[in-house]
Amino acid sequence: MSAEATANSQADVLSKVNISKSTTAPANMNNQKVTKTIVTSPYIYKPVGPYSQAILADKTLYVSGVLGLDQQGQLVCGDAEGQAQQALDNLKHVLEAGGSSLKGAVKTTILLANMDDFQAVNKVYAKYFSKDFPARATYQVAKLPLGAAVEIEAIALSGDVVVTEAGPCPCSRV
């Protein structure tokens, strides 16, 4: 896909979602501009605090932590596994609203109310990310909003993503 077609495709996706604000600011001394776009998916709940679902900064999408809430903002019934599935569905919707996909995710962070849920959440996570895994960190926290068991945030690339694999390190050990 050409750069122009990719740009047009992104514009089409972004025009179909709720974008509340798009700003352009100088990026450096050469007055190069970068665009900051507020991205909102109409398919998930409204944020539970004063933050955006996601911010698209040029071609990098920063997705706020998503919970296992249904579209009405109610925590789904069940355990961490069920909440992880709903959170990953929500993440997928926000990624798509920002012109990305699960394939475009380069980093995820999982917050757990209980580290004993690690394996159950991994089982669900593996259904959404089955190869070319993003980098990831998982932490146990004291408490999550609304009594949730799981929260997942992501950083992704927006546009036509090509995945390559780096070879072995060219450095030698002494």
- Look up the pTM and report it: 0.81
H-helix or E-strand spanning residue 131: none
Q: Does residue 173 fall inside a structural domain?
A: no
Q: Does residue 139 fall inside a structural domain?
A: yes
Total domains in the chain come to 1
- Of the listed ranges 13-22, 66-75, 124-133, the least confidently predicted one is 13-22
User: DSSP letter at 93?
Assistant: H
CA 66 to chain centre: 8
Rounded distance between C-alpha atoms, residue 146 and residue 68, angstroms? 10
CA 81 to chain centre: 19
| pLDDT, position 9 | 45
Rounded distance between C-alpha atoms, residue 15 and residue 154, angstroms? 22
Q: Does residue 9 fall inside a structural domain?
A: yes
Q: Does residue 166 fall inside a structural domain?
A: no
Q: Please give the backbone phi and psi of residue 7, each rounded to the nearest 5 degrees, phi first.
A: -60, -45
| pLDDT, position 13 | 44
In CATH, what number is assigned to the domain containing residue 93?
A: 3.30.1330.40
21 confidence band (pLDDT: 50, 70, 90): low
pLDDT in tens, 133-143: 999 999 999 99
Q: Does residue 167 fall inside a structural domain?
A: no
Mean pLDDT, to the nearest integer, of 85-95? Answer: 99
Instruction: Give me the amino acid identity at 108.
Output: T
Which residue matches tokens 């932590």? Answer: 65
Q: Does residue 170 fall inside a structural domain?
A: no
For helices 80-97 and 118-128, the axis angle rounded to 10 degrees is 40
State what percent of residues in the chain have pLDDT above 90: 69
Q: Does residue 91 fall inside a structural domain?
A: yes
Which residue segment(s) compose the domain that 26 sits in?
Answer: 3-157
Q: Does residue 164 fall inside a structural domain?
A: no
Across all residues in the chain, what is the average pLDDT? 87
